[in-house]
């Protein structure tokens, strides 16, 4: 994919008239948080698919989790004079300049999946708080509103972590019988979360009744630790994102549930919004929330 | 006895390790349990094996920043070769270890032939390695692995978890290699004064190449263990692991300028970091404070070690 | 100005008397107590009894700061200047705010310039110290003492890091200081400079003062005997040795861009000296033969066979041994033990399937250390804890372990004490008697001419001539070496 971008870029340089010539199709720049993340990859795939049917040319770049890089990427989109930008922000605050710069240059920008402090022309995504809320409700229901829960957080301070924490806390407030035994960061990482869960098993032992992990990678790490310690049977584990590994694990009866963020829909909707904005169409709703789906074994 | 202890170059970090253990032991009764000790050893095994390998590089006066990436590439390779219904386990392991050595040899050859500082060379191969891991895995985790591979991560032999067995074997091997062989002697000599070693007839380039091969080999072994432990090959595994490993080596008393260092020290450094990670989880310190405390304790340990070394003189 | 002093296990009943404006050399082996004496005078350590009197005032027991105030200062071997500050700022360091209020930088510079003018120094006062040569830095440090109105300056081996040209400059400064009424007490290992600029020399041995002599009443030979405490039949021992078969034939050898057309032969039982100025290519020739920088033209025959070492290990295996000119850079590994240093590069002799045979290694190195009279606590001691002379002997031990037929010795006695020098000369003679061939490279003209059987003179990378022992006078060698 990067190579394709490079070729496009070189082609542009060689042609050099490419920005002046009237194009017969729209060009949209896309900067994604990290192509190493399976879910983001799925969103990118959906974007590509919709772009093909809409005859839109996409320039997809990977910010590799660096908001600095992301801002630079958007700057280069602006200088290439793309028709619209789709941004999958790395950070709530630090990716904001990207949005501001695009708007200053008069290029419509759509945030997909997560938000930034500066308001874009449109937002397509799911409410992170809602996913955590739904996951915790599942746990509450399973425990009949009473029991001990552990929460594995994402990278501290990231928008997704903050929102998911907020959503989960709301459920704790609603059910006074639910007790948060401990919460620590698993840094979105499977190996780190596995170690964290092993340590928690040492310190809480049989008190643990449920685990909420803020993404599937961490949920799967915790699950592995519980299975190795032969404690899975008494602990209910829910995570969010619905990546393939997690769904498979649910089907095998290991992970209890995951919440699917609809990558397909996030991709196709954000492309639709970007195209409409580029064509200067009037849009009715600038904040499109794609609902989560609960994925659990029947 | 007291004298023997004072003479040991790793006495300082040993005292620091005992102190943090006592601290956590006094804060929670869950710390000093046989089960928790086994959990700690299990958790540190990956970092320990990485750190043992890179100890040779650092003693020889070099550095290897590509460890985390080499670990990821190896993890992906072993996962690809161990998918259900593919090759026998031993073939996957052997090929992965060979791949690790080849990647190490690539680092070593660049360092020796181009004379570019190893910091830069391995910074480059760190990025290349990460890209290769993504290419091989197409950016997605590789799951559905052989049960037999998973055994390496979570099984046990005679009640001892397999990763701990790997940890012990690697420790003994590296300890012997560094202290009892001509190779180990010359690694220290090169780190101590490369020109003098060359003039004395030491095959400096050959030894340097091997040092990176060893680092690659152990990175591959660590990659295998990590993959076996989390039961998937993750292209983004091991991000930042090189820093943990190098930190452990330095905390363990190996000089960044080369020439001095021990495998025992590295093991103590690894345990020190592992114990703090485990202990902070056990006493449930807030996630924000964990990082602050971790950094603070490490600096304190190194300062204490410095004082201790001075006192020894 | 006088002082007497006694006591302490390191120094026993030392009496030393220094006149005003006298240049006084203090000599002795390493560990004889020179630095302890200096430290006592400066108040860094306090003597257990005795007294130090400076211009009729007792000064022992005073603090370092008070002693500095009395007008005694010390120049250490490691210079204590701040590289990033200018010359003038360094000289006034810590005194910018002394009596009379704060001094502006301009005032400091003016005052330092006046001082420099007085001594005819052409060092710019406003450049950073790090931009000066070592010699000039040392002068800046001496000037700092002078500006503090020092009446006595102690100098610990002041010329050890200076080149020949710089030493001349330094000598002039010392004389000017004497003119200005400043007394100087310095330590040195170099006989020539002691006789060149000291008025008086005192000899310390094992913490005892052996005696004080006027330099015009004693000669170098006697002085060395006083230092060593035994009679030296000849400082450069000699014996008639029968010269044998050729060991090394160097024919028209060159290293592109460095030297060319070198021809000489080293035979069994003889020392061939390689003379020339520093940078003439002597060192490079030695390194080429040994494979450190393989030669690019001509031919070398070793024991009758064509020989071309591409790496030092090949030369070692062929039975050569090499001693580099700079012990710290090319010789020792400071952090390693005496034993490990002695067997470095020779571990093939002490291993079985790569595993080190520690017992064999220990025995071989300890036998060797005894034979070479290396002063050490034990063979596991770090080599950096030894004196320069003993470090050099360890490196000789390394060469001997290889049972060499040919030894290439580049500056074998540079910067080591006089007793170790004598031991090394005796050893070279032993090696000669045992039928070894020796290629000796040295900047010490006396040493080179006394020890060599023949001398080849190199200048600017070319061979200027070969002189027999009878022909080789310092004047003749220098004439060839300066050949344009």
Residues C322 and C215 in one domain: no
Closest by CA position to C60, among listed C37, C75, C40 = C40
Q: What distance in Å separates residue B200's CA from the closest CA in chain C?
A: 5
Residues C9 and C151 in one domain: yes
Bigger pLDDT: C390 vs C104: C390
Inspect the interface and report whether the beta carbons of C344 and B196 lie closer than 8 Å. yes
Torsion of CA B237, B242, B244, B250, to 10 degrees: 170
Quick check: is A156 in a domain?
Answer: yes
Work out the average pLDDT over C229-241: 77
Phi/psi for C381 (5° steps) reads -70, 145
In angstroms, rounded to a whole number, what is the distance separating the alpha carbons of residues B211 and B104? 8
B interface test, pick of C337, C340, C345 with most B CB neighbours within 10 Å? C345
Q: pLDDT per residue over A123-143, tens digit each?
A: 998 888 999 999 999 999 999
DSSP class of residue C12?
A: B
Mean pLDDT estimate for chain A:
88
Last residue of a domain, one of C165, C193, C228: C228
Inspect the interface and report whether the beta carbons of B234 and A244 lie closer than 8 Å. no
Bigger pLDDT: B247 vs C385: B247
Inspect the interface and report whether the beta carbons of A202 and B33 lie closer than 8 Å. yes
Nearest to B195 among C329, C334, C346 (CB): C329
Q: What's the pLDDT at A10?
A: 47
Number of other residues whose CB lies within 10 A of the CB of residue C46: 12
B3: pLDDT strictly greater than 50: no
Q: What's the pLDDT at A192?
A: 93
Q: For residue A97, give the 3-state DSSP assignment.
A: helix
Residue of B nearest to C311 (CA): B201
Q: What's the pLDDT at A126?
A: 84
Bigger pLDDT: C351 vs C47: C351
B28 near A CB under 8 A: yes
Q: pLDDT per residue over B56-73, tens digit each?
A: 999 999 999 999 999 999
**For C293, left (φ over 0), alpha (ψ -120 to 50), or beta?**
beta
Q: What's the pLDDT at B1?
A: 38
State the total domains in chain A. Answer: 2
| Segment holding A151, helix H or strand E | strand A147-153
Bigger pLDDT: C77 vs A264: A264
Report residue C383 as tokens.
């080599």
In chain B, what percentage of residues exceed pLDDT 70?
96
Q: What's the pLDDT at B78?
A: 95
B interface test, pick of C347, C395, C396 with most B CB neighbours within 10 Å? C347
- Do residues B198 and B204 make contact, with C-beta atoms less than 8 angstroms apart? yes
Which residues does chain B have within 8 Å of residue A245's beta carbon, measured at their own beta carbons?
Answer: 141, 143, 232
C near A: at least 3 beta-carbon pairs less than 8 Å apart: no
Residues C78 and C139 in one domain: yes
Quick check: is C236 in a domain?
Answer: no
Quick check: is A297 in a domain?
Answer: no
DSSP strand E in C276-315: where? 297-302, 305-306
Candidate from B9-23, C45-59, C352-366 with smallest mean pLDDT: C45-59
CATH for C6: 3.40.50.300
Residues A215 and A282 in one domain: no
Quick check: is A44 in a domain?
Answer: yes
Confidence of residue B9 (pLDDT cuts 50, 70, 90): low
Chains near B with 3+ CB pairs less than 8 A apart are A, C
Residues C261 and C178 in one domain: no
- 3 state SS for chain B: CHHHHHHCCCHHHHHHHHHHHHHHHHHCCCCCCHHHHHHHHHHHHHHHHHHHHHHHHHHCCCCCCCHHHHHHHHHHHHHHHCECCCCCHHHHHHHHHHHHHHHHHHHHHHHHHHCCCHHHHHHHHHHHHHHHHHHHHCCCCECCECHHHHHHHHCEECCEEHHHHHHHHHHHHHHHHHHHEHHHHHHHHHHHCHHHHHHCCCCHHHHHHHHHHHHHHHHHHHHHHHHHHHCCECCCCCCCHHHHHHHHHHHCCCCCCCCCCCHHHHHHHHHHHHHHHHHHHHCCCCHHHHHHHHHHHHHHHHHHHHHHHHHHC
User: DSSP for C157-200?
Assistant: STTTT--HHHHHHHHHHHHHHHHTT-EEEEE-S-HHHHHHH-SE
Phi/psi for A223 (5° steps) reads -60, -45
Bigger pLDDT: B66 vs C224: B66
Phi/psi for B89 (5° steps) reads -55, -45
In angstroms, rounded to a whole number, what is the distance separating the alpha carbons of residues C174 and C196? 11
A21: pLDDT strictly greater than 50: no
CATH number of B31-282: 1.10.3470
A233: pLDDT strictly greater than 80: yes
CATH for A159: 3.40.50.2300
User: DSSP for C397-436?
Assistant: HHHHHT--SEEEEESTTTT--HHHHHHHHHHHHHHHHTT-
Phi/psi for A27 (5° steps) reads -115, 130
Quick check: is C182 in a domain?
Answer: yes
Nearest to A199 among B39, B144, B287 (CB): B39
Q: What's the pLDDT at A275?
A: 93
- Do residues C120 and C176 make contact, with C-beta atoms less than 8 angstroms apart? yes
Number of other residues whose CB lies within 10 A of the CB of residue C406: 22
Q: What's the pLDDT at B77?
A: 96
Quick check: is C307 in a domain?
Answer: yes
Which residues does chain A have within 8 Å of residue B236's beta carbon, measured at their own beta carbons?
Answer: 36-37, 189
Interface list for B 250-289 with C (CB within 8 A): 259-260
User: A293 forms bridges with which residues in the sheet?
Assistant: A260
In angstroms, rounded to a whole number, what is the distance separating the alpha carbons of residues A153 and C73? 65
Q: What's the pLDDT at C10?
A: 58
Confidence of residue C161 (pLDDT cuts 50, 70, 90): low
C7: pLDDT strictly greater than 60: no
Inspect the interface and report whether the beta carbons of B230 and A221 lie closer than 8 Å. yes
Q: pLDDT per residue over A39-79, tens digit each?
A: 888 899 999 999 999 999 999 999 988 889 999 999 999 99
Candidate from C57-61, C336-340, C353-357, C446-450 with smallest mean pLDDT: C57-61
Inspect the interface and report whether the beta carbons of A184 and B229 lie closer than 8 Å. no
Quick check: is C34 in a domain?
Answer: yes
Residues A172 and A66 in one domain: no
Q: What's the pLDDT at A92?
A: 83
DSSP class of residue C27?
A: E
- Do residues A11 and A18 make contact, with C-beta atoms less than 8 angstroms apart? yes
Report residue B164 as tokens.
């701990």
Q: For residue C332, give the 3-state DSSP assignment.
A: coil
- Count CA atoms within 13 Å of residue C58 on its CB side: 6
Q: For residue C250, give the 3-state DSSP assignment.
A: strand
C455: pLDDT strictly greater than 90: yes
Inspect the interface and report whether the beta carbons of B281 and A153 lie closer than 8 Å. no
DSSP class of residue C76?
A: -
Q: What's the pLDDT at C5?
A: 54
Residue of C nearest to B200 (CA): C345
Confidence of residue B313 (pLDDT cuts 50, 70, 90): low
Q: Residue C392 class from Cβ within 10 Å (0-12 exposed, 13-18 middle, 19+ buried)?
A: buried
ipTM field:
0.89
Bigger pLDDT: A36 vs C391: C391
Q: What distance in Å separates residue A36's CA from the closest CA in chain B?
A: 5
Report residue C275 as tokens.
């003379």
Which residues does chain B have within 8 Å of residue A196's beta carbon, measured at their own beta carbons?
Answer: 281
What residues make up the domain containing A233? 128-260
Helical spans, DSSP H, in C87-128:
87-91, 105-118
State the total domains in chain C. Answer: 2
Inspect the interface and report whether the beta carbons of B281 and A248 lie closer than 8 Å. no
Which residues does chain B have within 8 Å of residue C351's beta carbon, measured at their own beta carbons?
Answer: 181-182
Work out the average pLDDT over C255-271: 94
Work out the average pLDDT over A260-275: 91
Residues C47 and C155 in one domain: yes
In chain B, what percentage of residues exceed pLDDT 90?
69
Q: How many CB pairs under 8 A join A and B?
A: 79
| Segment holding C246, helix H or strand E | strand C246-255
Q: What's the pLDDT at C397?
A: 95
In angstroms, rounded to a whole number, what is the distance separating the alpha carbons of residues C143 and A162? 66
Q: What's the pLDDT at A139?
A: 96
Residue of C nearest to B179 (CA): C356
In angstroms, rounded to a whole number, what is the distance separating the alpha carbons of residues B68 and B50? 9
Residues C219 and C308 in one domain: no
Q: What's the pLDDT at A31?
A: 94
A114: pLDDT strictly greater than 50: yes
Candidate from B52-61, B198-207, C198-207 with smallest mean pLDDT: C198-207
Chains near A with 3+ CB pairs less than 8 A apart are B
Sequence-separated contacts (24+) of B15-23 with Cβ below 8 Å: B15/B304, B15/B308, B16/B272, B16/B300, B16/B301, B16/B304, B16/B305, B17/B268, B17/B271, B17/B272, B17/B275, B20/B272, B20/B275, B20/B276, B20/B279, B20/B297, B21/B275, B23/B279
Confidence of residue C189 (pLDDT cuts 50, 70, 90): confident
Residues A117 and A141 in one domain: no
Work out the average pLDDT over B151-179: 94
Quick check: is A207 in a domain?
Answer: yes
C103: pLDDT strictly greater than 80: no
Candidate from B203-212, B293-302, C29-38, C109-118 with smallest mean pLDDT: C29-38
Work out the average pLDDT over C62-85: 82
Residue of A nearest to B238 (CA): A191
Closest by CA position to A94, among listed A119, A115, A67 = A67
Q: What's the pLDDT at C148?
A: 81
B2: pLDDT strictly greater than 70: no
What residues make up the domain containing C448? 246-481
Residue of A nearest to B135 (CA): A36
Candidate from A10-24, A177-191, C56-70, C329-343 with smallest mean pLDDT: A10-24
Work out the average pLDDT over A250-257: 95
- Do residues C87 and C140 make contact, with C-beta atoms less than 8 angstroms apart? yes
- Do residues A160 and A113 make contact, with C-beta atoms less than 8 angstroms apart? no
Nearest to A156 among B235, B239, B288 (CB): B288
Residue of B nearest to A229 (CA): B154
Closest by CA position to A295, among listed A219, A241, A227, A232 = A241
Work out the average pLDDT over B245-251: 92
Inspect the interface and report whether the beta carbons of C340 and B189 lie closer than 8 Å. yes
Bigger pLDDT: C252 vs C8: C252
Report residue C178 as tokens.
């004497």
Q: pLDDT per residue over C120-129, tens digit each?
A: 788 888 888 8
Residues C356 and C216 in one domain: no
Bigger pLDDT: C240 vs A24: C240
B306: pLDDT strictly greater than 60: yes
For strand A178-185 and strand A147-153, is the pairing parallel, antiparallel, or unpaired?
A: parallel
Q: What distance in Å separates residue A281's CA from the closest CA in chain B?
A: 36
In angstroms, rounded to a whole number, what is the distance separating the alpha carbons of residues C446 and C224? 15
Chains near C with 3+ CB pairs less than 8 A apart are B
C484: pLDDT strictly greater than 70: no
Which residues does chain B have within 8 Å of residue A224's beta carbon, measured at their own beta carbons?
Answer: 154, 229-231
Q: What's the pLDDT at C100?
A: 57
Q: What's the pLDDT at A253?
A: 94
Residues C80 and C222 in one domain: yes
Please give the model's pTM, rounded to 2 decimal places.
0.77
- Do residues C320 and C312 make contact, with C-beta atoms less than 8 angstroms apart? no
Confidence of residue C245 (pLDDT cuts 50, 70, 90): very high
Quick check: is C238 in a domain?
Answer: no
Mean pLDDT estimate for chain C:
86
Quick check: is C78 in a domain?
Answer: yes
Bigger pLDDT: C197 vs C307: C307
Q: What's the pLDDT at C130?
A: 83
Q: What's the pLDDT at C31?
A: 63
Residues C25 and C170 in one domain: yes
Residues A105 and A7 in one domain: yes
Q: pLDDT per residue over C277-298, tens digit each?
A: 888 899 999 999 999 999 999 9
Inspect the interface and report whether the beta carbons of B287 and A184 lie closer than 8 Å. yes
C54 near B CB under 8 A: no
């Amino acid at each position: 994919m990067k190579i394709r971008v490079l070729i496009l870029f070189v082609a542009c340089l060689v042609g050099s008239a490419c920005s002046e010539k009237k194009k017969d199709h729209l060009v949209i720049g896309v900067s994604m948080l990290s192509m190493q993340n399976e879910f983001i990859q799925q969103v990118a795939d959906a974007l590509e698919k919709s772009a093909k049917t809409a005859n839109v040319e996409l320039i997809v770049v990977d910010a590799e989790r660096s908001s600095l890089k992301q801002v630079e990427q958007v700057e280069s989109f602006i200088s290439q004079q793309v028709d619209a930008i789709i941004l999958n922000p790395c950070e709530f605050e630090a990716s904001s300049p990207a949005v501001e710069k695009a708007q200053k240059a008069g290029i419509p920008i759509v945030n997909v999946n997560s938000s930034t402090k500066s308001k874009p022309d449109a937002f397509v995504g799911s409410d992170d708080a809602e996913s955590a809320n739904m996951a915790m409700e599942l746990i509450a229901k399973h425990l009949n509103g009473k029991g001990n829960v552990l929460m594995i957080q994402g990278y501290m301070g990231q928008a997704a972590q903050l929102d998911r924490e907020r959503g989960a806390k709301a459920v704790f407030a609603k059910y006074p019988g639910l007790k948060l035994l401990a919460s620590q960061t698993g840094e979105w990482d499977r190996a780190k979360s596995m170690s964290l869960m092993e340590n928690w098993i040492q310190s809480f032992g049989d008190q643990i009744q449920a685990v909420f992990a803020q993404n599937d990678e961490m949920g799967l790490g915790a699950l592995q630790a519980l299975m190795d310690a032969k404690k899975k049977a008494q602990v209910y584990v829910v995570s969010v994102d619905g990546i393939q590994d997690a769904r498979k694990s649910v089907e095998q009866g290991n992970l209890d549930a995951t919440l699917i963020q609809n990558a397909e829909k996030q991709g196709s909707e954000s492309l639709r919004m970007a195209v409409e904005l580029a064509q200067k169409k009037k849009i009715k709703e600038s904040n499109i929330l794609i609902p989560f789906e609960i994925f659990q074994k029947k | 006895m007291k004298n023997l202890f004072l003479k040991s170059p790793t006495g300082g970090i040993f005292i620091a390790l005992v102190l943090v253990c006592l601290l956590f032991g006094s804060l929670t009764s869950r710390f000093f349990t046989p089960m928790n000790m086994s959990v700690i050893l299990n958790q540190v095994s990956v970092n320990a094996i990485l750190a043992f390998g890179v100890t040779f590089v650092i003693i020889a006066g070099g550095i290897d920043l590509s460890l985390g990436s080499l670990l990821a590439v190896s993890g992906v390779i072993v996962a690809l070769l161990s998918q259900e219904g593919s090759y026998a386990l031993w073939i996957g392991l052997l090929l992965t270890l060979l791949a690790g050595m080849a990647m190490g040899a690539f680092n070593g050859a660049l360092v020796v032939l181009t004379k570019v500082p190893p910091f830069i060379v391995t910074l480059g191969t760190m990025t290349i390695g990460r890209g290769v891991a993504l290419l091989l895995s197409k950016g997605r985790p590789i799951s559905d692995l052989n049960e037999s591979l998973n055994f390496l991560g979570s099984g046990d032999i005679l009640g001892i978890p397999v990763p701990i067995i790997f940890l012990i074997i690697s420790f003994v091997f590296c300890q012997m290699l560094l202290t009892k062989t001509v190779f180990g002697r010359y690694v220290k000599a090169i780190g101590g004064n490369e020109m003098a070693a060359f003039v004395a007839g030491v095959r400096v380039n050959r030894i340097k190449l091997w040092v990176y091969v060893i680092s690659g080999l152990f990175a591959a072994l660590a990659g295998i263990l990590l993959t076996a432990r989390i039961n998937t090959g993750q292209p983004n595994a091991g991000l930042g692991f090189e820093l943990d490993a190098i930190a452990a080596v330095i905390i363990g008393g190996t000089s960044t300028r080369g020439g001095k260092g021990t495998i025992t020290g590295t093991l103590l450094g690894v345990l020190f970091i592992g114990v703090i990670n485990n202990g902070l989880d056990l006493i449930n310190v807030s996630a924000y404070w964990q990082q602050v405390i971790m950094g603070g304790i490490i600096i304190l340990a190194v300062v204490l070690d410095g004082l201790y070394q001075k006192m020894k003189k | 100005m006088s002082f007497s002093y006694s006591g302490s296990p390191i120094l026993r009943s030392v009496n030393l008397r220094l006149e005003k404006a006298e240049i006084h050399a203090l000599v002795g082996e390493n560990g004889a107590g020179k630095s302890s004496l200096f430290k006592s005078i400066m108040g860094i350590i306090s003597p257990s009894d005795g007294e130090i009197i400076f211009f009729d005032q007792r000064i022992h027991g005073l603090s370092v700061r008070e002693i500095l105030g009395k007008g005694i200062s010390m120049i250490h071997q490691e210079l204590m200047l701040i590289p990033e500050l200018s010359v003038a700022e360094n000289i006034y360091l810590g005194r910018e705010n002394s009596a009379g209020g704060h001094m502006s930088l301009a005032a400091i510079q003016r005052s330092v310039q006046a001082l420099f003018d007085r001594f005819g120094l052409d060092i710019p006062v406003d450049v950073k110290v790090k931009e000066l040569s070592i010699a000039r830095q040392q002068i800046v440090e001496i000037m700092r003492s002078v500006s503090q109105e020092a009446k006595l300056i102690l100098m610990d081996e002041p010329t050890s890091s200076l080149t020949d040209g710089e030493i001349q400059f330094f000598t002039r400064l010392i004389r000017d200081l004497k003119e200005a009424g400043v007394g100087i007490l310095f330590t040195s290992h170099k006989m020539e400079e002691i006789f060149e600029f000291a008025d008086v020399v005192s000899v310390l041995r094992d913490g005892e003062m052996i005696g004080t002599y006027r330099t015009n009443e004693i000669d170098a030979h006697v002085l060395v005997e006083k230092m060593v405490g035994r009679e030296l039949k000849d400082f450069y021992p000699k014996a008639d040795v029968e010269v044998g078969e050729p060991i090394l034939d160097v024919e028209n050898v060159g290293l592109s861009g460095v030297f060319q057309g070198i021809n000489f032969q080293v035979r069994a039982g003889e020392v061939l000296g390689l003379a020339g100025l520093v940078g003439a290519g002597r060192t490079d020739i030695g390194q080429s033969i040994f494979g450190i920088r393989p030669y690019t033209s001509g031919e070398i025959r070793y024991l009758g066979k064509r020989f071309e070492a591409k790496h030092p290990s090949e030369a070692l295996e062929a039975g050569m041994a090499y001693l580099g000119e700079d012990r710290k850079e090319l010789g020792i590994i400071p952090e390693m033990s005496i034993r490990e240093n002695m067997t470095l590069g020779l571990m093939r002799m002490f291993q079985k399937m790569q595993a080190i045979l520690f017992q064999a290694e220990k025995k071989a190195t300890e036998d060797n250390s005894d034979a070479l009279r290396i002063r050490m606590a034990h063979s596991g001691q770090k080599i950096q804890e030894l004196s320069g002379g003993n470090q050099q002997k360890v490196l000789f031990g390394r060469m001997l372990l290889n049972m060499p037929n040919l030894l290439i010795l580049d500056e074998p006695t540079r910067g080591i004490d006089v007793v170790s020098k004598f031991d090394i000369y005796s050893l070279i003679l032993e090696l000669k008697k045992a039928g070894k061939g020796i290629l000796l490279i040295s900047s010490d003209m006396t040493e080179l001419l006394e020890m060599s059987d023949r001398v080849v003179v190199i200048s600017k990378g070319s061979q200027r001539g070969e002189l027999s022992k009878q022909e080789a006078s310092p004047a003749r060698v220098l004439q060839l070496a300066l050949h344009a």
